[in-house]
């Protein structure tokens, strides 16, 4: 399988979590032998971002950090500092520079913010047409040894499989295929078995190690996170797009909870337009 990832973008604000995301992106760039772009955005709504001193400090940090990742990982990295709205500029930059993967940190959300797109990372996940890998914790290792692919009853659930398999092959990961059902009715489990067999076929074709499980839970997001904790997964892959396509604002409840609360990195893959009305199983 030839990788579709030719360029990686990492937005950085020079916080610990954004630097950790850059190191994750750098490891992927090293394994793929591709370029990584570092992007810092001066938010013009913040008064201190408009000062010459801020620009000079950001330029110095960017140059130092770019050199660090290049020297440590042996990759080609470019640094950019541009003004504007953080989310808008990330999306526009990724399109203009033909980026294939965004890697960024997120600080999560809680309380009433769970109802809305409250963080830059969540809004990027919602609006991006390319896969976005988000990290909540800067202590995660950069190698994905166990990757979780949750499969639910939505017609879009399997589209993330191909993208996830690319990353699994990159890290020689074990793939955990998790069927999530919110009903213990036999007919629902039978439908899930058929879906999982289709996913297994893809994974087997790429000669990856895998395990398949079906679990029941009233809150399938919590069920998926609990499974990832118990089985020491390093990455969880989810679909996004169908809910945000309808509203323009909200992620679906499953994606919201996973992006906000997963202690491990989350790969969010937006399904194609055709799958809004066409089942893939």
User: Is 118 a residue whose pLDDT tops 70?
Assistant: no
CA 239 remoteness from chain centre: 10
Assign a CATH topology to domain 7-105: Rossmann fold (3.40.50)
End-to-end CA distance of the chain: 22
CA 222 remoteness from chain centre: 18
For residue 244, the model assigns a pLDDT of 38
Longest dimension (CA), the chain: 65
Instruction: Note the pTM of the prediction, 2 decimals.
Output: 0.86
- Over residues 58-113, the pLDDT tens digits come to 999 999 999 999 999 999 999 999 999 999 999 999 999 999 999 998 864 444 33
SS3 131: coil
**Domains 7-105 and 146-276 equal at CATH topology level:** yes
Would you state the CATH architecture of domain 146-276?
Answer: 3-Layer(aba) Sandwich (3.40)
- Over residues 155-207, the pLDDT tens digits come to 666 678 989 999 999 999 999 999 988 777 777 788 899 989 999 999 999 99
pLDDT higher at 139 or 162: 162
The domain spans of the chain are: 7-105, 146-276
| Contact call for residues 281 and 155 (beta carbons, < 8 A) | yes
Torsion angles phi and psi, residue 205, rounded to 5: -60, -30
What is the token pair recorded at 210?
A: 């895998």
Once rounded to an integer, what is the mean pLDDT over residues 233-252?
A: 63
Of 149, 158, 218, give the one whose Cα is nearest residue 191.
Answer: 158
Buried b (16+ CB within 10 A) or exposed e, 2-39: ebebebbbbbbbeeebbbbbbbbbbbbbbbbebbbbbb
């Amino acid at each position: 399988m030839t990788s579709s990832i030719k360029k990686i973008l990492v937005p950085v604000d020079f916080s610990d979590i954004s630097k950790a995301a850059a190191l994750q992106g750098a490891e992927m760039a090293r394994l793929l032998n591709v370029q990584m772009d570092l992007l810092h955005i001066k938010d013009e709504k913040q008064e201190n971002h408009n000062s010459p001193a801020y620009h000079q400090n950001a330029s110095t940090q960017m140059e130092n950090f770019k050199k660090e990742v290049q020297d440590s990982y042996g990759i080609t990295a470019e640094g950019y500092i541009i003004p504007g709205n953080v989310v808008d500029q990330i999306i526009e930059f990724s399109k203009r520079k033909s980026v294939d993967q965004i890697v960024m940190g997120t600080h999560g959300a809680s309380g009433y913010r769970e109802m809305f797109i409250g963080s830059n990372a969540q809004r990027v996940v919602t609006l991006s047409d390319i896969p976005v890998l988000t990290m909540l914790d800067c202590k995660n290792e950069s190698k994905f040894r166990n990757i979780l692919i949750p499969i639910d009853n939505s017609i879009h659930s399997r589209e993330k499989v191909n993208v996830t398999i690319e990353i699994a092959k990159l890290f020689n990961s074990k793939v955990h295929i998790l069927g999530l059902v919110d009903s213990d009715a036999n007919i629902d489990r039978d439908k899930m078995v058929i879906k999982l067999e289709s996913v297994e076929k893809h994974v087997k074709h790429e000669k990856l190690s895998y395990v398949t499980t079906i679990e029941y839970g009233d809150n399938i997001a919590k069920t998926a996170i609990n499974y990832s904790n118990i089985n020491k997964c390093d990455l969880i892959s989810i679909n996004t797009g169908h809910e945000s396509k309808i509203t323009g604002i909200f992620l679906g409840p499953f994606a919201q909870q996973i992006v906000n609360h997963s202690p491990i990195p989350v790969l969010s893959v937006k399904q194609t337009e055709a799958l809004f009305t066409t089942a893939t199983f």
